[in-house]
Amino acid sequence: MIEARGLTKRYGSTVAVDRLSFDVRAGQVTGFLGPNGSGKSTTMRMIMGIDRPNGGSVMIEGRRYHDLPWPLREVGGLLESKAVHPGRSAFNHLWALAQTNAIPAGRVHEVLELVGLAAVTRKRAGKFSLGMTQRLGIAAALLGDPGVLLFDEPINGLDPEGILWVRTLLKRLASEGRAVFVSSHLMSEMALTADHLVVIGRGKLIADQPVADFLAQSSRASVRLRTPRPEPLTVALLEAGGSVDNEPDGSLVVNALSAAAIGDLAAALGIALHELAPKAASLEEAFMELTQDSVEFRAEGSDTTMPPTTGEFPT
């Protein structure tokens, strides 16, 4: 379990991470969501004792990172995938790390097998593709079989098969009782992988809640459709409570109705659909939504887990 309390990082006059407090619990995947430059990587580096916070603290299983007796056996991190000497082989890179924490060589082979690099253990890391480098970084994180895992943008550079593999891996690691903390700037990715979300914008906490709750709040999830008979369908959709936008390319974007409801409605009217594509709210849209919500909640004086965040977001 990771407990961040009032974590703050300043670079000169810029506040990169601003009094961030959250928990990452064991047995679930906690997504760490925020646009690029919002302070996710800085936060992860502070958790791993690499960057020193200007304020606040972060504890891992009740200890400061610096006081962990076997850091790699307790925390594994994929922070930057390219953090490998290009001339060193995959095996030797991991072996050098393993030796610091008295991890046996057998475990190095095990994790290389696990991430699918068993065939290239002697190949120089500089010759690796982006995806292979990413897998090597994941292998390094898993080296000490740790109970706490941090992954900074793990799907960067992976092909679709690799992305699916990472999703499965993250869920499995969590199901084994580990605390898994994964950052991403992709809302859609987090919706598929995470159980819980910590959302930040400009270094500040925006939300700390289960994924289901977060998604439910972002009502801007919409559906794109094409039909040869847009007029009667638009009328029907409006009657059913949806809102309809005409796009320049001739498609319609419907809000507030599910794809299933739209499909059923069209079928009932005998109107053909040529396309029906649910479009998840983008992170930016969800952010906008969330900002408005927090302002509304505040205006109503109701209790909310979200702190006031007016005027803090990029538009």
For other proteins, the binding residues (CB under 8 A) are: 1, 26-28, 45, 48-52, 65-66, 68-75, 77, 79-80, 82-89, 92-93, 95-97, 99-102, 140, 145-147, 174-179
Shortest distance (Å) from residue 71 CB to other proteins: 6
Shortest distance (Å) from residue 66 CB to other proteins: 5
Task: Report yes or no: 272 and 282 within 8 Å, Cβ to Cβ.
Answer: no
133: which 2 tokens? Answer: 């480098």
Shortest distance (Å) from residue 91 CB to other proteins: 9
Shortest distance (Å) from residue 162 CB to other proteins: 21
Nearer Cβ to other proteins (54/251): 54
Nearer Cβ to other proteins (30/291): 30
Cα 149 to Cα 240: distance, rounded to the nearest angstrom: 46
Cα 195 to Cα 243: distance, rounded to the nearest angstrom: 30
Q: What sign results for the dihedral spanned by CA atoms 148, 115, 91, 133?
A: negative
58: which 2 tokens? Answer: 């972060």
Shortest distance (Å) from residue 13 CB to other proteins: 17
Nearer Cβ to other proteins (73/298): 73
Nearer Cβ to other proteins (71/242): 71
Nearer Cβ to other proteins (12/248): 12
Cα 220 to Cα 217: distance, rounded to the nearest angstrom: 9
Q: How far is CA 73 from CA 21, 23, 145, 223, in A?
A: 25, 20, 6, 46
3-state DSSP assignment of residue 1:
coil
Which strands sit side by side in the sheet containing 243-246, from one edge to the other?
A: 243-246, 252-255, 222-226, 275-279
Nearer Cβ to other proteins (85/127): 85
Shortest distance (Å) from residue 127 CB to other proteins: 13
